[in-house]
Amino acid sequence: MAESDRRLFFALWPPAGVAGRLHEAALAAHAACGGRPMRRETLHVTLAFLGAVAATRVAAAEVAAAAVAARPFILELDRLACWKHNRIVWAGCADVAPPLAGLATNLAQALRDAGFVLETRPFAVHATLVRNANCMKPPPPLAAPIRWPVADFALVESHAESAGSRYEVVRRWLFVLD
């Protein structure tokens, strides 16, 4: 990564109430499965990961994002699970709401059309709650689904720091109501 590159990704960034519920779930999962709970201010759902972007290419990513049409929707996070391969406890949903699937697909297409290389794995809705978890024990279930009214998406910069990655929301795109 060149010095002027920025590590960027697109994400859904939760409103305070949703971040609070995710944080509670992270602490409960940490109590059951150990590992390292994510800090409240880091909690998010990644939509598209760009990785290192040259400073001169950031505007192209923003133009691509601005062209993605989407309407507000409710994201209902209703399950916690643990991935054994990377020892991550995450919150997700049994069914991906069509507006969210559409947003992820359209954003990825717009970014590819603009020349960005994205990973080809299918989009998996997840908010990472705990890293380095012991996945032999299932995380405790959510007391109730977390209802997240999604009204925008964000371009986020990841800053590597000794305490772990720090994320900075660079810009947000509000969905249109009709």
State the residues that interact with ligand ATP by CB under 6 A. Answer: 7, 9, 46, 49, 119, 128, 158, 164-165
Q: What are phi and psi of 60, to 5 degrees?
A: -65, -35
Q: Which of 10, 150, 169, 147 is nearest to 70 (CA)?
A: 150
Place of tokens 């391969």: 85
In the complex, minimum distance from the CB of residue 1 to ligand ATP, in angstroms, rounded to a whole number: 11
| Pair of tokens at residue 175 | 């969905």
Distance (Å) of CA 122 to CA 33, 48, 76:
27, 11, 19
Which of 133, 176 has the CB closer to ligand ATP? 133
The amino acid at 55: A
3-state secondary structure of 36: strand
Angle ∠(29,35,38) on CA atoms, nearest 5 = 70
Which residue number, 117 or 177, has a Cβ lying nearer to ligand ATP? 117
Nearest approach in angstroms of CB 155 to ligand ATP is 12
Q: Which residue, 41 or 69, is less far from ligand ATP as judged by CB?
A: 41
Write down the least CB distance from residue 107 to ligand ATP, Å.
13
- Closer by beta carbon to ligand ATP, 119 or else 168: 119
Tokens 């598209």 locate to 48
Q: Cβ 9 to ligand ATP, closest distance in Å?
A: 4
Quote the tokens at residue 97: 């709401």
CB 176, min distance to ligand ATP, A: 26
